[in-house]
Amino acid sequence: MHALITGGAGFIGSHIAERLLREGYKVKVLDNLSTGKRENLVPCPGAELVVGDVRDDKLVREVARGCDVIFHEAAVVSVPFSVEHPQETHDVNIQGTLNVLHAARAEKTKRVVFACSAAVYGEDPELPKKESMAPLPVSPYGVEKITGEYYLHAWSQLYGVETVSLRYFNVFGPRQDPKSAYSGVISIFVDRALSGKPITIFGDGEQSRDFVFIGNVVDANIRAATTPGVSGRAYNVGCGTRTTLNELLQVLARITNRPLPPSYAEGRVGDIRHSLADISRARTELGYDPKVGLEEGLLALVNSLR
């Protein structure tokens, strides 16, 4: 089997690459290295890296040639960046996705698996989030992700390309880059905890997220690529538990055995308050079973960085 991973030099994509190579797939990666890094692919010596942009439709078609499955991970992933630069994130996150779908249709790729997001749910206070709820995104990023998902669904109906959309909740684990102001909160907190730098919480710290360890997310991707009869479907990928940022810091303080008093700053525009996945659809239809919980995952992350 041949797989293309767009964004495969990034955090999640490189872990998918590693797993696919172990399972005997031939793996190609398309990545513009904007946030991804060559070194993320060091554990994937068999992967072929093509440095290029998903906005380049000709290139996307070229790299898709001969692939049985595409994992479309490439995106600008930051919610606040999308609030500040909505045109740029539109171009990558919507046009880039459309280019992948055009390529899949033209090159007769069997299945496309899409990295969608819990950000599509927006501010509807009802919890947990179920896939049957009407999306109401409150950031350009959330709009872009649900648009991508709608395109996938249409492709599954119109052009014989099988598609599966995975609505990731807050993913964390080794190789998530902590260095940008836009990085995922766990990567920032762990980096700062281990280097003794101050930690800032935006808002009162009572906002909550369904944090999901990378191994669970890779498992969901493999299932989404290989389970028959699920084309056109969307699935939540979380753990089904939520943790506030204040609680997260307490767990981290315990694991690292350091006091981690945060400072509090103004909340971020476009931030959602609470996020929690109902994962029963993924359990039933994909056999998804997130085995690694927050504390075990945090411990694995901290140990990998020590």
Does the protein bind ligand NAD through residue 215 (CB under 6 A)? no
Judged by CB under 6 A, the residue of 36, 184, 215, 297 near ligand UD1 is 184
Whose tokens are 């699920």? That residue is: 230
Residues forming a β-bridge with 113: 71, 164
Contacts of 148 (CB under 8 A, 6+ apart): 72, 93, 94, 97, 114, 116, 165
Closest CB to ligand NAD among 34 and 284? 34
Which of positions 218-247 make contact with ligand UD1 (CB under 6 A)?
245
Residue closest to ligand UD1 when measured from CB atoms? 117
Task: In whole angstroms, give the CA distance from residue 225 to residue 135.
Answer: 24
Stretch that binds ligand UD1, among 29-37, 102-110, 112-120, 250-258 (CB under 6 A): 112-120
Find the DSSP H helices in 257-293.
280-286
Binding-residue pattern over the window 65 to 94 for ligand NAD, x denoting contact by CB under 6 A: --------xxxxx--------------x--
* φ and ψ of 19, to 5 deg: -65, -40
> Is 159 assigned a catalytic role?
no
Does the protein bind ligand NAD through residue 35 (CB under 6 A)? yes
Residue 76 CB coordination number (10 Å) = 21
202 binds, among ligand NAD, ligand UD1, none (CB under 5 to 8 A by kind): ligand UD1
Q: Which residues bind ligand UD1 (CB under 6 A)?
A: 77-79, 117-119, 168-170, 182-185, 188, 200-202, 207, 209, 245, 268, 271, 275
Footprint of ligand NAD (CB under 6 A): 7, 9-13, 30-36, 53-55, 73-77, 92, 96, 115, 117, 168, 170-171, 184
Query: What is the set of active-site residues?
Result: 141
